[in-house]
Amino acid sequence: MLKILIIEDEKINRLTLEQVLKKNGHTVVATDNGIHGIELIGSESFDVVLSDLRLPGSSGMEILEQVRQNAPGTETIIMTAFATVKNAVECLKNGAYDYLTKPFQVDEILHLLKRIKEVRTLNRENEALKRRLADKQEFPEIVGESDEIRTVLEKVSLAAPGDHTVLIQGESGTGKELIADAVQRLSSRRDKPYIKVNCSALSETLFESEMFGHEKGAFTGALQKNVGRFERADGGTIFLDDIDDLSRRMQTKLLRAIQSREIERVGGTRVIPVDIRIIAATKADLRELVEEGKFREDFYYRLHVAKIMITPLRERRSDIPVLIRHFLSLFGCTKTFSPDSLPILKRYHWPGNVRELKHFVEQLTIFSGGPTITIADLPEYIKKPSPRAEFPDAFNARLPLDELLCQVEISSIRNAMEKFDQNQKKAADFLGIPRTTLRSKLERYQHHPVKKPHE
């Protein structure tokens, strides 16, 4: 409902109005003094000011002026017992929404308020629509209606045009690469080279040659000169994906190149200047990695300029239905989900985030029969309540926290390996960890005894 300020010195009138408006669900603040009214307009925000024309302290005209200057979104209705055509015209000319001649019927004022409410709702919807349309034009490929995704897009719009480093943080499958691409596309370097580096796939030995290039004969097997990624990105943008997977040695080398904006090819003697914009993505909190000694603090500060955090899908569930519709149409599928299946899909915790949802929709479009995808088509693990809710805690499990976490990790990995028929790539994607990490964990846990809680 509306928040209304009544400025009226006649006590009976003021109290009656206050009572009627409150009874109709509005929030009401009332005063008998024009100066106090003006103070209130300056300090609080109202949808409507209902003011007498003749007041102690100031006049209705001054109130109108105050609203025009300090509260342009507020509507003013003037009440007057001295209605003359001149007064009325004067009020409207000064921006009043309307005026009422005393004595007036309660219905008259309620009718005016109803009209104001309708127009305000319409305006708000219009604004939301316009904003959504603007988002769509700027980011046609990024789908979502949640406040969280809207904040991300606003940040992208703000950060993209400059040359500063952008750091994108989010769990696996939340859309980090999609956002990185949007930053590049909206930047002034959009027509320049855009080089993507998957840091988790870089080998320690070939790192420098990959990034900075090498001269012919620089090492055994270097039969040709090789131009590295930094040099290829010159004038444009480099996207350092999974930067949290870089070893400390690689961090040091990268930091040096980024700081000096110069590189040297392996086996080369020349220093080559490079002009690049950096976009980096991380699934881990780099600050935590710094505290654990796994990430160089100076590198962290170098990256931490414009940070964009993408919320996991389970914390912005209102995006799930629109994403489902988007993916159905992306896969050219005319099927729809039955209304009772949507709450189940919204409840599931989507550990693999949007990527998992996308694969899920794709699979269903292939395997479900009939024009409607129903609850019966949904796999059991989606229908079951989220396993997160079932996690034991250290107290109930009577295990030391370290061991408990280890057990949770083992069972998550085994479940994922089972779910994806021992396919390490798919299991790693699902768990949101690089395949190399999964492999080392599998080796480490191969002979680890499975302890049951309560034993």
Ligand X SMILES: Nc1ncnc2c1ncn2[C@@H]1O[C@H](COP(=O)(O)OP(=O)(O)OP(=O)(O)O)[C@@H](O)[C@H]1O
Q: Which of 9, 145, 177, 377 binds Mg ion (CB under 5 A)?
A: 177
Instruction: Please give the residues from 119 up to 148 whose contact with ligand X meets the rule CB under 6 A.
Output: 142-144
Between 64 and 310, whose beta carbon lies closer to Mg ion? Answer: 310
| Residues paired with 167 in a beta bridge | 280, 307
Q: How far is the CB of 241 from Mg ion (least distance, A)?
A: 5
Regarding beta strands 98-101 and 75-80, do their DSSP bridges make them parallel or antiparallel, or are they unpaired?
parallel
Of 117 and 196, the one with the shorter C-beta distance to Mg ion is 196
CA atoms within 13 A on the CB side of 357: 30
- Residue 205, burial from CB neighbour count under 10 angstroms (0-12, 13-18, 19+): exposed
- Taking every pair of C-alpha atoms in the chain, what is the biggest distance, in angstroms? 100
Contact between 180 and 223 under an 8 Å Cβ cutoff? The reply is: no
- By CB under 5 A, is residue 178 in contact with Mg ion? no
Containing 230, the helix (H) or strand (E) segment is: helix 229-232
Strands 3-7, 336-337: pairing kind: unpaired
Q: 204 — phi, psi (to 5°)?
A: -55, -40
Measured between alpha carbons, how far is 201 from 430 in angstroms, rounded to an integer?
17
Q: Which amino acid is at 235?
A: G
- Whose Cβ is closer to ligand X: residue 26's or residue 155's? 155
Instruction: Output the residue with the shortest Cβ distance to ligand X.
Output: 175
| Nearer CB in complex with ligand X: 47/241 | 241
Counting residues that bind ligand X (by CB under 6 A) gives 16
| Piece of the chain touching Mg ion by CB under 5 A; list 100-108, 173-181, 187-195, 428-436 | 173-181
Q: How far is the CB of 19 from ligand X (least distance, A)?
A: 49
My answer on whether omega of the bond before 103 falls inside 30° of 0, hence cis, is: yes
Site size toward Mg ion (CB under 5 A) is 2
What does the block give as tokens for 89?
């015209």
**Interface with ligand X in residues 351-390 (CB under 6 A):** 354-355, 358
We find the least distance from the C-beta atom of residue 433 to ligand X, in angstroms, to be 9
176 touching ligand X, by CB under 6 A: yes
Single out the segment in contact with ligand X by CB under 6 A; choices: 16-24, 27-35, 170-178, 389-397: 170-178
Give dist(CA 416, CA 426) in Å, integer. 8
**Range in contact with Mg ion (rule: CB under 5 A) among 18-26, 176-184, 428-436, 438-446:** 176-184
3-state secondary structure of 41: helix
* Residue ranges in 273-292 that form contacts with ligand X under rule CB under 6 A: 283
Task: Give the nearest distance from C-beta 281 to Mg ion in angstroms.
Answer: 6
Element (H, E) at 147: helix 147-159
Choice between 233 and 266, CB closer to Mg ion: 233
* Residue choice 10, 65, 177, 409 for contact with ligand X (CB under 6 A): 177
Query: Residue 302, interface with ligand X (CB under 6 A)?
Result: no
Q: Which does 199 bind (CB under 5 to 8 A by kind): Mg ion, ligand X, none?
A: none
For residue 241, what are the contacts with CB-CB under 8 A and spacing of at least 6?
A: 176, 177, 180, 196, 197, 198, 199, 200, 280, 281
Q: Among the candidate windows 41-49, 169-177, 387-395, 439-447, which touches Mg ion by CB under 5 A?
A: 169-177
* Cα–Cα distance list, 286 to 92, 175, 206, 299 (Å): 59, 18, 24, 10
- 39 Cα distance to chain centroid: 37
One residue of 13, 58, 74, 174 binding ligand X per CB under 6 A: 174
Of the pair 239, 299, the CB lying nearest Mg ion is at 239
SS3 state at 425: helix
Nearer to ligand X, 176 or 277 (CB): 176
Q: Which is nearer to ligand X, 37 or 170 (CB)?
A: 170
Stretch (H or E) spanning 150: helix 147-159
Please, what sign has the CA dihedral across residues 314, 317, 319, 322?
A: positive
C-alpha span between 110 and 93 (Å, rounded): 23
Closer by beta carbon to ligand X, 177 or else 262: 177
The item of Mg ion, ligand X, none sharing an interface with residue 144, based on CB under 5 to 8 Å by kind, is ligand X
Give me the least distance between CB of 399 and ligand X, in Å please.
Answer: 30
Binding site for Mg ion (CB under 5 A): 176-177
Binding site for ligand X (CB under 6 A): 142-144, 170, 172-178, 283, 326, 354-355, 358
